[in-house]
Amino acid sequence: MSKTSQAELIRAGKGFIAALDQSGGSTPKALRLYGVEETAYNNDDEMFGLIHEMRSRIAQAPAFTGDKVVGAILFEKTMDSDIAGKPSATFMWEDRGVVPFLKVDKGLAAEENGAQVMNAMPELDALLDKANSKGIFGTKMRSVINAANADGIKAVVGQQFDVAKQIIAKGLMPIVEPEVTISIADKSEAEEMLRDEILAQLDALSEDQNVMLKLTLPNAANLYQPLVDHPRVLRVVALSGGYSRQQANDMLAQNAGIIASFSRALTEGLSAQQDDAAFNGTIEATISEIYDASVAG
């Protein structure tokens, strides 16, 4: 796999990044929305097997190709599994033309100063080495901001960039994801503070240190334009964060230069009970809608 060609596809390609990285905590909800109740599995292994079937079905849908989906974020168990008889990351790139990323965080710490930093990742270097061996291009890690609190936002962004530098040193592209909770009363203020804190961190990077950013869709259109334009940023992508797909698409279309990286909004309307024709038709329509919103700006 050529990381140069993958980087160019992410930088300039038209399309969006599919987030197929539901973790242990979010998998039961994702399966319920897909029509699979908790009574359908008896343990974590069976649960992850069922979510892998869903992800594999999405990845093998005729519309899931690099024409409109430039990247896909995988859960570690997905990376370690096969799709259509090939290692998942290899299938994504060789068969679909989709650049593979890996979720690397290990969940969130308790809230402090209105924010949740990431849990410690003592085995991150080993995971990054494995990711490199499996053809992964980049990584993603998520923190959460629940208030416009300067100390909390500074802690989240500082940790994200510290870990990003560790990831860059391993030759991988980090997606920095400080998610702002969409329901908080001071969301607009938090987003302005977040933008400024990220800019300070970006300005401190060297010319050989580049990152991607995954951000909650902002209340104010084009609030993150300075981040989109920053020379240390390969691409800015947006999470749906609990917005419906329609609302997320409408907001995304108002933000120039930002593309989608949706999870729940991507799988909205899909069901384990659908036959292949219905499933493939639904995901094709969804991909087209998200693609259109991603290229609108």
Q: For residue 165, what are its two tokens?
A: 């530098």
Q: Distance between CA atoms of 123 and 142, rounded to whole angstroms?
A: 17
Q: Which two tokens stand for residue 260?
A: 């989608």
Report the alpha-carbon angle 215-216-217, nearest 5.
110
3 counts as catalytic: no
Out of 68, 103, 140, 214, which one is annotated catalytic? 214
289: annotated active-site residue: no
132, two tokens = 């490199």
Q: Are 235 and 263 in contact (CB under 8 A)?
A: no
Q: For residues 259 and 236, give the distance between their C-alpha atoms in angstroms, rounded to a whole number.
A: 7
In the chain, the amino acid numbered 60 is Q
The active-site residue, picked from 77, 177, 179, 197, is 177
> What's the CA gap between 271 and 32, in Å, rounded?
9
Cβ atoms of 104 and 166 within 8 Å: the answer is no
| Catalytic positions, written as ranges | 177, 214
